Amino acid sequence: MKVELIAHSPDPDIIAAVAAMLTHSKSDFKKLKEENEETLKKVLRKVIDMGHTSVVEHAYFTFAISGVSRALTHQLVRHRIASYSQQSQRYVEMDMEYITPPSIEKSKFKEKYHEMMKKIWEFYNEMKKELPVEDARYILPNATCSKIVVSMNARSLLNFFELRCCLHAQWEIRKLAWKMLKLVRQVAPVIFEKAGPPCKTKHICPMDKKDCRWYPKNKIR
């Protein structure tokens, strides 16, 4: 899996902070932006803690993601407020590249799994000689590698991290979520300093999974 933050709003923390201040100020954007940086960050922290996260929608982030499965991207596109551009299986020649879940890699099914993948690609290449590629690709598995470019605003990302950084999220998209969180924290540390699964950020478990090793010991009711 490779995840790159290829673009983002300039000074995302500052933009969000100024947007927050503007709602309760007569000053214009330019003047507010000249406020002391620590003052702006303090305001942003307070606003986020109060749950007024609409101001962080002004900050956008774009990621280039590769080496992931179609199973992952099908989960990813369920997050509605985002923009996606995914590699086409119709126009791009598909090599025999696929993802192997760690559980399979460690199991007795490992050899059979790789043998089956080989057979699938052999059959796929055979069908392509006589059938339209768009029809032959129906045989390709969810494990097939894909590439996708994703853009989200910070508020959508906060929701994404809350859902997908959780231990009960599927392993591959959880791995992606933590990689994305690490990247955005480098450019917007205030917005994302408390981002992540609710067990870590709010000391609650929405699913009440008491058997989870991250289940909050001091649960707030």
Give catalytic residues, as residue numbers.
Answer: 164
Strands 83-86 and 60-69 turn out to be unpaired
Residue ranges of alpha helices (H) inside the chain are 12-22, 29-33, 37-49, 70-76, 102-105, 110-128, 133-136, 154-164, 171-187, 189-192, 198-201
Cβ atoms within 10 Å, residue 160: 22
Hey, is 148 helix, strand or coil? strand
Cβ atoms within 10 Å, residue 120: 17
| b/e burial code for range 161-195 (CB count within 10 A of at least 16 → b) | bbbbbbeebeebbbbbbbbbbebbeebbebbbeeb
Distance CA 160, CA 56 (A): 14
Closest by CA position to 197, among listed 216, 218, 172: 216
